[in-house]
Amino acid sequence: MNTQPTYAFVAGASRGIGAGFARTLAERPGVERLFVAARKPDESDAIAALRNAHGERIVPVTLDIADADSVAAAAAAVAEHTDRLDWVLNTIGLLHAGDMQPERRLEDVDAGNIQRSFAVNAVGPLLLVKHLARLLPRREPCTVATLSARVGSISDNRLGGWYAYRAAKAAQNMLTKTLSIELARRYRKVRCVALHPGTVATDLSAPFRGNVGNDKLFDVAQSVNYLLTVLDQLDDDDNGKFFAWDGQEIPW
Ligand SMILES: NC(=O)c1ccc[n+]([C@@H]2O[C@H](COP(=O)([O-])OP(=O)(O)OC[C@H]3O[C@@H](n4cnc5c(N)ncnc54)[C@H](OP(=O)(O)O)[C@@H]3O)[C@@H](O)[C@H]2O)c1
């Protein structure tokens, strides 16, 4: 059984699944400080609502995960408030934005879009832990979790397409696995995992969920509750694994 966090950090708290995590964690009485990171925290209704409801327990942090300097500055800002983080949760992800759309065929592949996807989905989440890791407790349980996607599983790829997102999520998975090995040498009870949230009704999935049945489409609160159940039950042996919302392990 995992330890409940006292100091938790959620990246991507402006909207979507990240905002859902922040809402639910803020309701947990044991959470003394909740760091909510976003590109523009002052413009997020979700973060404003949290601050209104929970006051100084909520600490907004400015973070553009595609900008290495911003990641370092965000970690430094957190360190001004605490010398300890029990949970580091990354929920940031990018599938589409304006002209950037998931590729349906080879002709759609664009080098710039692949690089952008890698920056947000794969490199940024690793840099985040690079800068925050020194706040993890060395001997007590701590959690480093990142939202990946089942489409990033190489062995589970049956449909093809979505080159940039699939590859960036596969890279995120490899970086998470590699990170889990190094972290475990320094932080004896770390649980560093990748998670698949299911198909969730957010802006990210909106254009692509036409064929998803109602029983397979989760709302944010549902997915967050499932994922928190997974996170709450993590054990030492779970470090370096990839879990779906229902606790099933996904092959890398
Ligand atoms: N929804 C699904 O069905 C589904 C399925 C499988 C996996 N996932 C994964 O779950 C995670 C959360 O997805 P979601 O559905 O909540 O997506 P979403 O609603 O589109 O939210 C994406 C979040 O990422 C943030 N973000 C994007 N680029 C950023 C950057 N450069 N720096 C900082 N923040 C950035 C956004 O912040 P802004 O408000 O600043 O844009 C927003 O908070 C992602 O990793 C996604 O790949 C989702």
Confidence (pLDDT) at 214: 82
Count of CB atoms situated within 10 Å of the CB of 206: 11
> Per-residue pLDDT averaged across 104-131, rounded?
98
Closest approach atom of ligand 1 to CA 70? 32
At 203 the pLDDT is 94
Residue 52 lies in a domain: yes
HSE toward the beta carbon, residue 32, CA cutoff 13 A: 7
CATH number reported for the structural domain that contains residue 65 in this entry: 3.40.50.720
Q: Is 147 in the pocket of ligand 1 (CB under 6 A)?
A: yes
Rounded average pLDDT over 74-96:
98
Q: Are 41 and 62 in contact (CB under 8 A)?
A: yes
Ligand 1 within 6 A of 227 CB?
no
Residue 159 tokens read as 């449909």
What pLDDT is stored for residue 211 in this prediction? Answer: 83
Residue 211 domain-assigned? yes
Structure token pair of residue 67 = 């900008």
Sheet of 7-11, strands arranged across: 58-62, 33-38, 7-11, 87-90, 142-147, 190-196, 242-244
Range of the domain at 126: 7-244
- 152 CB near ligand 1 (under 6 Å): no
* Residue 213: how many other CB atoms lie within 10 Å: 8
Whether 249 maps to a domain, the answer reads: no
Letter string b/e over residues 120-157, b meaning 16 or more CB atoms within 10 A of that residue's CB: bbbbbbbbbbebbbebbbeeebbbbbbbbbbbbbeeee
How many domains, in total, are found in the chain?
1
Nearest protein CA to atom 45 of ligand 1, as residue: 93
Q: Identify whether 116 is part of a domain.
A: yes
Protein residue closest via CA to atom 6 of ligand 1: 149
* Mean pLDDT on 74-87: 98
2, part of any domain: no
Which of the four pLDDT bands, split at 50, 70 and 90, describes residue 3? low
What's the angle, vertex CA 121, arms to CA 23 and CA 34, rounded to 5?
Answer: 25
The number of C-alpha atoms within 13 Å of 102 and in the hemisphere containing its C-beta is: 17
Mean per-residue pLDDT, 85-112: 97
1 within a domain of the structure (yes/no): no
Structure tokens that stand for 130 in this block: 């690079």
